[in-house]
Every structure is written in structure tokens, then in C-alpha cells.
Amino acid sequence: QVQIRESGGGSVQAGGSLRLSCEFVSEYTLSTYCLGWFRQSPGKEREGVAAIYGDDSTTFADSVKGRFTISQVKDRNSVFLQMNNLQPEDTAMYYCAAGGSWRDCTSLSFGQALLRGQGTQVTVAS
């Protein structure tokens, strides 16, 4: 059984930064196509944010390129999202996920996610 510990959300002013953390607590190292993050706001569709693969290559949504970075610690099954220059449109519930297929990861859809966190709220005030 895998427990998911997600943290790091909060409220910031526009231009501020936050770092989200997610640990998939398991006795074993996870075997997934990628780890990543997606977000969702009330009334909006889910939006993939970023993914990181076993070789540490990454995929980012155009909306966050140049502002967000993703990293991982493989032997701790952990993934992190550093968010800089946050804007009001980044306000959402952020979820970490373990991608269930290459398409799931490269498209940032995470619709087939093997695992997903409970979500952490990010609010950016203008």
C-alpha cells in the first residue's frame, strides 16, 4: 500500500514563490512512467503542469515554462514543484501524480494516473 504525503501550498502575492512537495511512501521504489503535477480550479478543466521521467528529463505546460521547475528524489519516491513568479491564474488545487502511461506523461493529462495525491491549495493574490 502506498501513502501519499503532499504539502507546500499556501497563499502568496503575485510574483511570489512556493515549493510543493510530494512523497509516495512505500516500502519499494515506485515503477512508473513519470511523476508529475496537475492542477484544477473550480469550473475549469484539469490542467497538467509538469512531469519528470526516470532520466530526469521533463515536460512542462506552456503556461508555466520558465517559471516552474520540477525535480525528484528517486530513492525517496519524492517529487517537487518549485513555482516562481506566481500569478493569479496559477490559483488552483495542485495534485501530484504517478503517470500510468507514456502518453499520460508526455501529454500531461494524468488521466490514467496510477496514484494521485489529495491536493494542496495554491492561492495567488493580485
Cβ atoms < 10 Å from Cβ of 124: 20
Q: What's the rounded Cα separation, in Å, for the pair 5 and 59?
A: 23
Work out the pLDDT band at 113, boundaries 50, 70, 90: confident
Q: In angstroms, how far is CA 96 from the centroid of its own chain?
A: 4
Work out the pLDDT band at 31, boundaries 50, 70, 90: confident
CB 80 within 8 A of CB 94: no
The H or E element containing residue 103 is helix 102-106
The reported pLDDT for the residue numbered 108 is 94
CB 41 within 8 A of CB 91: yes
